[in-house]
């Protein structure tokens, strides 16, 4: 049975469950982390925040799109994906592989930014936003359902995990930087 893609569901779900919460969180967290960066590193600027944000969003989107469009029946058949939506019976290795790729990409982005607190928040939230945007694609096929909630929950879960990892890395980097400057 052919399912139709509903743009209005995709856009409304993505805006309400992904973009709006991330914009609010960025507004709240970036103010406090800039002060933390100034105290820890003497500077509060992220090297090219637009580039970091775009790469983080793209990385999250690609991880979800690549890992969750594969199906055991058709492999990476983009035509099936765009016609019927995402395959929903994921293997455990798909979830584990996706998680590893999300975290490795996040660590790379943070490391390139010298693990500043503000970069840690920006990368975590925008990777999660990109992931949830790709994930919300599935809620836009067939009969309207509660699939969009999965996008919101993935946004929350990925944000929390990456924020914890990134803040620990930023703290370690900050402590190491302070020891070097006091020597």
Intra-chain end-to-end CA distance of the chain, in Å: 69
pLDDT at 74: 61
The pLDDT tens digits for 155-171 are: 899 999 999 999 998 88
- In a domain, residue 32? The reply is yes
Range of the domain at 31: 7-182
Per the structure, the count of domains in the chain is 1
pLDDT at 78: 62
pLDDT at 135: 81
pLDDT higher at 177 or 137 = 137
Bridge partners of 143, per DSSP, are: none
- In a domain, residue 2? The reply is no
Cα three-residue angle 24-27-33, rounded to 5 degrees: 130
- In a domain, residue 164? The reply is yes
- In a domain, residue 45? The reply is yes
Q: What is the mean pLDDT of the chain?
A: 78
- In a domain, residue 38? The reply is yes
Comparing 8-17, 51-60, 80-89, 99-108, the range with the smallest average pLDDT is 80-89
| pLDDT band (50, 70, 90) for residue 75 | low
- In a domain, residue 106? The reply is yes
- In a domain, residue 1? The reply is no
The total of other beta-carbon atoms located within 10 Å of residue 65's CB is 18
pLDDT at residue 1 is higher than 50? no
Alpha carbon distance 95, 103 (integer Å) = 12
């Amino acid at each position: 049975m052919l399912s139709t893609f509903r743009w209005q569901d995709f856009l409304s779900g993505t805006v309400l469950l992904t973009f709006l919460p991330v914009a609010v969180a960025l507004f709240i967290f970036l103010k406090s982390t800039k002060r933390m960066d100034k105290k820890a590193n003497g500077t509060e600027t992220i090297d090219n925040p637009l580039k970091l944000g775009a790469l983080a969003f793209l990385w999250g989107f690609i991880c979800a799109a690549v890992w969750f469009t594969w199906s055991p029946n058709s492999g990476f058949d983009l035509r099936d994906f765009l016609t019927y939506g995402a395959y929903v019976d994921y293997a455990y290795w798909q979830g584990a592989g996706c998680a590893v790729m999300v975290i490795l990409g996040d660590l790379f982005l943070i490391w390139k930014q010298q693990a500043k607190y503000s970069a840690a928040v920006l990368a975590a939230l925008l990777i999660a936003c990109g992931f949830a945007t790709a994930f919300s694609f599935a809620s836009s096929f067939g009969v309207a359902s509660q699939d969009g909630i999965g996008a919101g929950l993935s946004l929350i879960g990925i944000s929390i995990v990456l924020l914890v990892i990134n803040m620990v890395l930023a703290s370690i980097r900050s402590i190491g930087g302070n020891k070097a400057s006091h020597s």
